[in-house]
Each structure stands twice: as C-alpha cells, then as structure tokens.
Amino acid sequence: MSRPYVVGLTGSIGMGKSAVALMLRELGVPVFDADAAVHHLQGPGGELLPAIEAAFPGTTGPQGVKRQELGAQVFGDPEALKRLEAIVHPAVARMREAFMIEHMGEPLVVFDIPLLFEKGHGKDLDAVMVVSAPASVQRERVLARPGMTAEKFAHILSLQVPDAEKRARATHVIDTGVTLAETEAQVAALVAAIREKNPRR
C-alpha cells in the first residue's frame, strides 16, 4: 500500500473551514483535526498534562488544562509559548503519523490545520486547500459569535496570515461566500478529481 495524497486544509477565522471539513468527511475523506488532537492531549487524563504542569505549575487539574491559567502564563511571552509548543507539537505529530498509517491505501487524506501557514506546517503536504470568503462575509460571521467583539476580531486577524496571501499560496481555493450547495459542489468536484488521479491502492 502506498501513501495517500495529503492535502492541508486551512483558512482564516470565519471562513467556513469547519463546514468544509464536515463536507469532506461526508464524502468519505479521512480528516485529521489538529485542534481536536490538542484538546484530546490536554483534556481529562491527557498524556501531556504532567509535562504541561511541570513547565507551567498550576495550569492543570482533573478536567485537564485550565485554559485561562495557561493562557495567562503564555500570552505575550514568546519564550513561554515556545516551551508549550515544544511539548504539544511533537505529540500532535505522533498522532498525525498514526492517522496516516491507519489510512494507508486511501487515495486522499486531509489534515485540518488552522495555523498551517502561520506555524510552517506545510512541508509534508502534497497540496493546500484554503477556505475563503469575502471580508464582509467573514466579518459578519465572526461578529455573530457569542462573546466576540470587533477588537477581539481585529486582534485575531493580526495574528493570522492575510487571506489574500493564503489564497496566493494555495493549491486549491474553496469559496464559501456562496450558497452552501455551491460550496458543497466545489468540494465534491475537487475530491472527485483527486480520487481520479490517485485511485485507492
């Protein structure tokens, strides 16, 4: 069995990446969710809790990582963030590798990585799929979220690679600024094209 064709899925906040990931799963595409992997590793009984507690005392408990406490120790401190990433990233990479082994022989596997460009995770990918929508649509979606403010939204955007740059660096762009049916059609066409070039082995 040979290695699947590996596509990284990414997109800025409010662009509809989660919806596209769901569409891919419904088409039978194995999708590795990097955020879900982190939550699993840091949740109740998570394997990273001892290492995180040792590096950042007082930030874990029976329910896993205390996000507010950990955030307070890491926010605005690049060195602390590097220490945390040195704990988390290798563990996520191991889970991703196990996922790949599990799905050997599949024509296509997708890695859902929110900060793909920001963290330089594109090295082992065959292609990158960027989910995009007009800025006005993005803003409307994000500001409709509970607890979101214009200031928070602006701060999040400042930490992300601009959408135009993501689109320029993408192999494939999925437009979610259209109807749901039109987005589903784009995703289905792309999956069909990749499967045709890379049949199940």
Rounded distance, CA 37 to CA 52, Å? 16
- Beta carbons within 8 Å of 109's beta carbon, 6+ residues apart: 4, 5, 6, 7, 29, 30, 31, 32, 99, 100, 103
- Beta carbons within 8 Å of 112's beta carbon, 6+ residues apart: 9, 10, 17, 21, 31, 32, 33, 34, 35
Residue 188 token pair: 């289905």
Is there a binding annotation on residue 1? no
Say if residues 32 and 96 touch (Cβ distance below 8 Å): yes
Is there a binding annotation on residue 17? yes
Residue 44 token pair: 């109740």
Numbers of helices and strands, H then E, in the chain: 9, 7
- Beta carbons within 8 Å of 88's beta carbon, 6+ residues apart: 38, 41, 42, 48
- What stretches of 12-66 show up as alpha helix (H) in DSSP? 17-26, 34-42, 49-55
Is there a binding annotation on residue 19? yes
Residue 191 token pair: 């999956």
Is there a binding annotation on residue 16? yes
Positions at the binding site for ATP: 14-19
Positions at the binding site: 14-19
